[in-house]
Chain A
Amino acid sequence: GAVVSQHPSWVICKSGTSVKIECRSLDFQATTMFWYRQFPKQSLMLMATSNEGSKATYEQGVEKDKFLINHASLTLSTLTVTSAHPEDSSFYICSARDLGGGPAGTQYFGPGTRLTVL
């Protein structure tokens, strides 16, 4: 089946530092990847859509300068949280759309990254 990995699975950083999270599709190509943020016991909130070779599309209210997204290849998208602050602490999860398989539009998710900013 379609497998998506995320790295790191958890990270603790000091306020003001930047953190990079990688999202990889391991056994399929993904022209489109998505980045979500999730608070405890809540639903997923879409932050941005990452398209290979082009700029990411951000949802309303998401600061593009704070959450930098790069989709450099068909299997890798990265999210960089710049100058992180405690309010950025959250669970970040990515997904990838499988071009070649799965029901139309199925997104396959990574295991998520838990970010804690001290």
Chain B
Amino acid sequence: AQKITQTQPGMFVQEKEAVTLDCTYDTSDQSYGLFWYKQPSSGEMIFLIYQGSYDEQNATEGRYSLNFQKARKSANLVISASQLGDSAMYFCAMRAYFSNDYKLSFGAGTTVTVRA
């Protein structure tokens, strides 16, 4: 079984600054994928970025980057140049590849509030 831990329930960040959201995971699987989703107040879950356990480079998607430290079992999300529209709840999730059920395990989430 996988466990995802997000220790920051809420964060404030100034507009145009960068923010790092922590995510650690616990798994005995060697092959897995890590995902970050954004959930604004409207409720929709928006897929942001993916990192495979065997990927040698950290994933990047526009202003989002994933700081993947496999030995530490951490997959922190970095949002650069924060915008007001980044205010949302962010979830880290994981899926083990050998599992054929494609289930995701989610963390508790981190609420980010961007201040003007």
Question: Which of A34, A104, A109 meets B37, CB within 8 Å?
Answer: A109
Query: Of B42, B43, B101, B104, which is in contact with the most chain A CB atoms at under 10 Å from its CB?
Result: B43
| A43-B45 contact, Cβ under 8 Å, with A103-B50, A104-B33, A107-B104 | no
The reply to whether B45 and A97 form a contact with Cβ atoms under 8 Å apart is no
Chain B residues, CB < 8 A from A42: 108-109
The reply to whether B45 and A57 form a contact with Cβ atoms under 8 Å apart is no
Q: Give the number of residue pairs across the A-B interface with Cβ within 8 Å.
A: 63
Cα-based distance from A11 to B52 in the complex (angstroms)? 38
The reply to whether A114 and B43 form a contact with Cβ atoms under 8 Å apart is yes
- A20-44: which have CB < 8 Å to B? 32, 34, 41-44
Interface range, A side = 20 to 34
Cα-based distance from A73 to B7 in the complex (angstroms)? 40
Chain B residues, CB < 8 A from A102: 47, 50
Q: Is A8 an interface residue (CB 8 A)?
A: no
Question: Which of A49, A105, A111 meets B44, CB within 8 Å?
Answer: A111
Q: Is A67 an interface residue (CB 8 A)?
A: no
List of 6 A-B pairs having minimum Cβ-Cβ separation, nearest first: A109-B45, A103-B50, A112-B43, A105-B95, A111-B44, A43-B106
